[in-house]
């Protein structure tokens, strides 16, 4: 038996001890995050899932709470209003995605240039994103007034009076579009900041190399800027989709889901069931279904990010 063979077990023991210490250190570092997730994410979801399987009312009653199994989920899936709200929020998402992300992208490209008072301009464009949605709804509610609101006056002036005043919030054909317009304006500043960060992360050497090769500004944009922003595009797209599915405040303040349920959304439907109709178990079933929808979107995000090696 050689000297090296006899000393190998003795050398492995300190290595194992170091690995064990490192493992405990890593567990200690992630423990606070895991504890917070357990308190604020996992536990509320488990409580919601349990409540969804009971006939729990909002206000306690003398009669005991009964376990009803999957009955609330069955009622949700057989309620036409739920499918209407899901369709409406999907329609809202499809409309707001290109408008909000496109506006944020174009604004970020503009503000990434060397402009005078660049920081001031960035602050002004970001201002709607930090303004309370309630305040934004009050302002836009004034703009949407029918028939003599400022927006109708602008449309009438630009069309020379050929377009009649539009009932932006009272017409089922226009109500959701109005919500989309308001929401995109209020929230595009958040995506703009993400795009600006993405633009600043593209190495300037790539643009210099493209200029040396004689590439035009359009070619530099297409072959340098767009590939460099690919992970940013994916992130912004998924985050905006998740936010869109949580649409509530605008609907609650401006339309209350109307007219003719054309702006009813899943979250507004859930709040009405829980607080107005006092069916807490039923509302919990809706929240669990919404959670599953958002979870599927998050899984899609993870898949896309892996594809683009982020």
DSSP letters of 118-132? HHHHHHHHHHHHHS-
pLDDT at 1 over 50: no
pLDDT at 13 over 80: no
DSSP state of 264: -
Task: List, in order of start, the domains of the chain with CATH numbers.
Answer: 75-307 (1.10.3720.10)
Q: Which residues pair with 67 in a beta bridge?
A: 54
User: In terms of C-beta density within 10 A (0-12 exposed, 13-18 middle, 19 or more buried), how is residue 35 classed?
Assistant: exposed
> What is the model's pTM?
0.84
The pLDDT, as a whole number, for residue 71 is 92
Distance of alpha carbon 190 from alpha carbon 91, whole angstroms: 22
- Residue-wise pLDDT for 264-281, tens only, equals 999 999 999 998 888 899
């Amino acid at each position: 038996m050689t000297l090296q063979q006899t000393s190998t077990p003795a050398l492995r023991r300190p290595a194992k001890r170091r690995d064990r210490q490192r493992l405990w250190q890593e567990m200690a570092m992630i423990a606070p995050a895991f504890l917070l997730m357990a308190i604020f994410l996992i536990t509320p979801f488990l409580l919601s899932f349990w409540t969804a399987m009971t006939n729990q009312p909002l206000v306690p009653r003398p009669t005991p709470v009964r376990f009803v199994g999957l009955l609330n989920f069955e009622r949700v899936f057989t309620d036409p209003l739920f499918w209407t709200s899901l369709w409406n929020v999907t329609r809202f998402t499809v409309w707001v995605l290109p408008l909000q992300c496109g506006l944020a992208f174009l604004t970020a490209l503009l503000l990434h240039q060397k402009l005078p008072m660049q920081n001031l301009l960035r602050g002004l464009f970001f201002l709607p994103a930090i303004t309370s949605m309630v305040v934004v709804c009050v302002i836009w509610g004034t703009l949407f007034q029918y028939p003599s609101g400022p927006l109708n006056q602008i449309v009438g002036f630009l069309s020379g009076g050929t377009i009649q005043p539009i009932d932006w919030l009272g017409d089922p054909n226009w109500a959701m579009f109005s919500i989309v317009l308001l929401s995109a304006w209020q929230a595009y500043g958040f995506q703009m900041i993400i795009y600006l960060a993405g633009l600043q992360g593209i190495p300037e050497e790539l643009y210099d190399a493209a200029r040396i090769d004689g590439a035009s500004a359009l070619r530099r944009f297409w072959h340098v800027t767009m590939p460099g922003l690919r992970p940013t595009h994916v992130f912004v797209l998924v985050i905006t989709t998740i936010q869109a599915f949580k649409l509530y405040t605008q609907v609650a303040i401006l339309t209350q889901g109307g007219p003719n349920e054309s702006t009813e959304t899943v979250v507004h439907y859930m709040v009405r069931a829980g607080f107005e109709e006092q069916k807490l178990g039923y509302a919990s079933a809706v929240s669990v279904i919404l959670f599953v929808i958002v979870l599927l979107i998050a899984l899609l995000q993870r898949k896309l990010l892996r594809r683009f090696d982020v």
